[in-house]
Amino acid sequence: MTKVTISGLCKAYQPEHPILQSLDLTIASGELFFLLGPSGCGKSTLLRILAGLITPDRGTIRFNDTDVTALPPEKRQATMVFQNYALWPHLTVFENVAFGLRVAGADNRTIKREVAAALDLVRLGDCADRRTPSLSGGQQQRVALARALAVNPAVLLLDEPLSNLDARLRDEMRLEIRRITKERGLTAIYVTHDRREALSMADRVAVLSGGVLQQTGTPSEIYERPVNRFTAEFLGDGNFLPAEVLANHGSTLQLRTPAGDLTAAAETSLSPGDRCRVLIRPENFRFSPAPDAVNLLEIRVRDGIYLGDHREWQAECGPLPLLINESAPEPRQPGDCCTVAVPPERLVILPAEDADHA
């Protein structure tokens, strides 16, 4: 298995518009690692640098203890699965998967063995003699994945591989890609702008914006404890309340917000009088709270959207609009008033500079 170390990586096509800015990342052996961010944030450029298709301006890339920064693609043992599959329609599935092995000069026995193993891994062993245009989109994506796996790569690179599939196939392939990478013990680096893919598949995620690394962590860490507003908003819906610190008791903060005074379970260096912003995810409100609950808010329902497993309420707390999710919702009508609560541990404190950009 291969550990990937990226140090001080920079890339700019124009000096005033850097694509990657002094990026540092370490990806563990056997990790399914996601690069997540909006279009133009540098994630696909980074993937192509790792593949050897683009040369960085500065910085180094190491696969285990080997510096591969200046190595050509064929010397890196890093294979790439593209968004558009890049299959040859005039070739059979077998010949598509065998292509990389033939280029590498493998003998026929090795080719047959590795192609068969790769097709079995992606559950297409009975499709070897078919031509790719006869396959479904999901099957074609599996062929592209098998072709990358057949050469036994040190690092597998995936560039938005599911974006051309419908919702059902995307869900199916998410499970398949994770299963395959884990069965092979592969180090895999996966580019996407789809937060659901990242949250449901990744061991760890790096969030990028403007070529700058915003946060790295497990899916639960970056969703539940984002370090700034960009990460919080990119990972999901949220309510962002401007706040002033009233007291810091070490493990808890007393805060004044437009929704009322709140208690947050958080250890920070903030002092009374400091400004910050409080994030409350919509699913963290509790209806019908216990009498001794803290952070009680009186809300008025404005409207609601039924989404199957929950209802999304647009509400207001005084002058403050709130987005609130309720599982197994009670019947409610616009204008209804009710009390909700937010557990102190579900309040996330964001930096003061994020409050300035609200």
Q: What is the pLDDT of residue 98?
A: 96
Q: What is the pLDDT of residue 290?
A: 86
What is the amino acid identity at position 195?
R
Beta bridge partners of 187: 155
Contacts of 269 (CB under 8 A, 6+ apart): none
Angle at alpha carbon of residue 55, lines to 105 and 102, rounded to 5°? 10
Angle at alpha carbon of residue 93, lines to 92 and 97, rounded to 5°? 120
- Helices and strands (H and E) in the chain: how many: 9, 20
Q: Which of 282, 304, 295, 306 is nearest to 345 (CA)?
A: 295
Query: How far from chain centre, in Å, is Cα 16?
Result: 28
Q: 4-233 maps to which CATH number?
A: 3.40.50.300
Integer Cα distance of 12 and 350 in angstroms: 30
DSSP secondary-structure letter at 226?
Answer: -
Q: What is the pLDDT of residue 164?
A: 82
Q: Which of 187, 217, 221 is nearest to 204 (CA)?
A: 217
Instruction: For strands 212-217 and 204-209, give the pairing.
Output: antiparallel
Integer Cα distance of 37 and 22 in angstroms: 17
Q: How many CA atoms lie within 13 A of 74 on its CB side?
A: 6
Q: Which of 77, 76, 64 is nearest to 27 (CA)?
A: 64
Domain assignments of the chain as residue spans, ordered by start: 4-233, 237-355
Integer Cα distance of 222 and 37 in angstroms: 13
Cβ-contact 80, 47 below 8 angstroms: yes
Q: What is the pLDDT of residue 356?
A: 42
Integer Cα distance of 260 and 297 in angstroms: 7
pTM of the model: 0.91
Q: Where are the beta strands (DSSP E) in 96-222?
A: 155-159, 187-192, 204-209, 212-217
Cβ-contact 347, 262 below 8 angstroms: yes
Average pLDDT per block of 10 residues along the chain, 358 residues long: 96 90 96 95 96 96 96 93 88 95 93 94 93 91 92 94 85 90 94 94 97 97 96 96 95 95 94 96 93 92 92 94 92 93 96 56
Structure token digits, residue 161? 């591989």
Q: Which of 199, 251, 201, 193 is nearest to 221 (CA)?
A: 199
Q: Which of 281, 198, 174 is nearest to 236 (CA)?
A: 281
179-200 burial code (b ≥16 CB/10 A, e <16): ebbeebebbbbbbbbbbebbbe
